[in-house]
Copies of this chain bind each other. A is one copy, B any other.
Amino acid sequence: MRNLRLELCYDGTRYRGWQRLPGVENTIQGKLEKTLSRILEESIEVIGSGRTDAGTHALGQVANFHCINRMPSEEILRKLREFLPEDMGVYTCKEVSPRFHARLNAREKTYCYRLWNSEEPCVFQRRYVYGDSRPLNLEAMEQAAEHLVGTHDFSAFCGNKNQKKSTVRTIYRIEILPKGHELQFLFTGDGFLYHMVRILVGTLLEVGRGEREPETISALFGKRRELAGQTVPACGLCLMEVKY
Contact = CB atoms under 8 A, between A and B. Distances in A.
A89 B121 contact: yes
A8 B121 CA distance: 9
B81 A122 contact: no
A123 B9 contact: yes
A226 interface: no
Interface string A118-140: 01111110101000000000000
A9 B87 contact: no
Contacts of A123: 9-11, 86-89
Interface residues of A, number: 21
Nearest to A127: B124
Given A81-B121, A91-B121, 20 more contacts: A8-B121, A9-B121, A9-B123, A9-B124, A10-B123, A11-B126, A57-B124, A59-B124, A81-B119, A86-B123, A86-B126, A87-B123, A87-B126, A88-B121, A88-B123, A89-B120, A89-B121, A90-B121, A91-B120, A124-B128
Contacts of A128: 124
Interface in A13-41: none
A124 B119 CA distance: 23
